[in-house]
Amino acid sequence: MRIVSDPARMLQLAEEARREGKSIGLVPTMGALHEGHLSLVRRCRTENELAVMTLFVNPIQFDRRDDLARYPRDPDRDTALAQTAGADLIYAPAAEAMYPPGYATYVTVEGLTDRWEGATRPGHFRGVATVCTKLFAACRPYRAYFGQKDYQQALAIRRLVADLNLGLEIVVLPTVREADGLALSSRNALLTRQERRQAPVLSQALFAAQSAVRSGERDAETLRAGIEATIRTAESAVVDYVAVCDRDTLEPLVRIGRRAVALVAARFGSVRLIDNVLLDV
């Protein structure tokens, strides 16, 4: 497996692969890999001739300096795991190579990113959209793989790719969870034992809403309030938002129709976690 850090070299390799008619698949990650990331790499492996995983903790998508400083990093472990999952190439540029002095170009997806994560994390999606555009430009993928866990992110990337005619397919794969329902996240490692015990309340609240919808509940506010009340039963949880909204626009709903999603964000001590489920009627 190859590890490439120079953006110009990455582009050269991607162009060579394209000339040889190889399909390139891309899995953008910030490392600290877990089964969620690896599920994306495995799928990328099966659907493409060149499976590229990126390893880059993108400074411009962090709205809090302390969050960036303590983001877990373990490139040696990540490299070994990515290789086992079938990655052919790891693209791991340095921050200085991505954003050298004088760097001035940013990508903003309007509307979709105003709410929820966008409202609570100023600049976050601008950072995500910018880095993804740069990674797509350097790696020239036919397909890029994202997790449903970051629902709003996946939607924003789809919008970005369509709006800028980037000509690649965005594949979104289901959230991988711990046995107790907690969505895998690199940040879970930062939870104290007590917070870790309480964190599954997020998925429990979401699954309860899913079954309420299956049993006929259609009032969005009843569902939203139910999710929030369940999360509040965990004493270490501080709710950032709970939303029951349209799956495509992320506008809050009054009644549940065919295309609803429930999104949550809450802090457990200093660790902020997000989760979501589709609400199928």
Residue 81 in the binding site for ligand AMP (CB under 6 A): no
Interface with ligand AMP (CB under 6 A), residue from 56, 62, 116, 146 = 146
**Using CB under 6 A, which of 13, 17, 26, 30 touches ligand AMP?**
30
Question: Could you tell me which stretch among 35-43, 104-112, 113-121, 130-138 binds ligand AMP (CB under 6 A)?
Answer: 35-43
Q: Which residue has the tokens 């953008």?
A: 28
Q: Which residues of 4-20 are buried (b: 16+ CB within 10 A; e: fewer)?
A: beebeebeebbeebeee
The distance of closest approach from Cβ of residue 215 to ligand AMP in the complex, given in angstroms and rounded to an integer, is: 27
DSSP 70-130: TS---HHHHHHHHHHHT-SEEE---HHHHS-TT-------TTTTTSTHHHHSTTHHHHHHH
Rule CB under 6 A: say whether 171 interacts with ligand AMP. Answer: no
175: left (phi over 0), alpha (psi -120 to 50) or beta: beta
Kindly tell me which residue out of 98, 150, 223, 250 binds ligand AMP, with binding defined by CB under 6 A.
150
Compute the least distance from the CB of residue 247 to ligand AMP, in Å: 16
Q: Does 56 bind ligand AMP (CB under 6 A)?
A: no
* Nearest distance, CB of residue 156 and ligand AMP, angstroms: 12
At 219, is the secondary structure helix, strand, or coil?
Answer: strand
Q: Please report whether residue 36 would count as binding ligand AMP according to CB under 6 A.
A: yes
Active site residues: 37
To ligand AMP, the closest distance from the beta carbon of 78 in angstroms equals 10
Residue 175 or 198 having the CB closest to ligand AMP: 175
Q: How far apart are CA 186 and CA 202, in angstroms?
A: 16
Please choose, out of 32-40, 189-197, 208-216, 261-269, the segment that lies near ligand AMP by the rule CB under 6 A: 32-40
Dihedral of the alpha carbons of 210, 267, 184, 10, in degrees to the nearest 10:
120
Tokens representing 21 are 């008619």
How far apart CA 32 and CA 187 sit, in angstroms, is 9
Among residues 250, 238, 173, the alpha carbon closest in space to that of 201 is found at: 238
Binding mask 183-202 for ligand AMP (x = CB under 6 A): xxxx----------------
* Position closest to ligand AMP via CB: 147
Confirm or reject binding of residue 170 to ligand AMP (CB under 6 A): no
Closest CA to 30 of 149, 177, 195: 149
Q: Which residue has the tokens 């962090």?
A: 62
Binding site for ligand AMP (CB under 6 A): 29-30, 36-37, 39-40, 146-147, 149-150, 175-176, 183-186
